Structure 1
């Protein structure tokens, strides 16, 4: 049973890694939308950005 805590830690780290990758992807998507808005002032500037779902980096 000595492997059980290690297995749980592996699952935790795997989950944390997936969350981090999703957060980075969302951050890049928000940055891309901000750039699109700044390129087309007046047209897209009224579209609200979705609220951030994770901690700010």
Structure 2
């Protein structure tokens, strides 16, 4: 089994939209694990704006 980590958005209908293509070459069933952050939790892959501006 191969694991691919990416980001996505869940819309108001509960549908998942990936931020970029997975580049999978054939149709297949997959298992999905969704990690939801708490409201006060900073996403680990999102650098705060202050740090980006300082760079």
Structure ranking higher in helix proportion? 1
TM over 0.5: no
Return the TM-score normalized by structure 1: 0.20
Structure ranking higher in strand proportion? 2
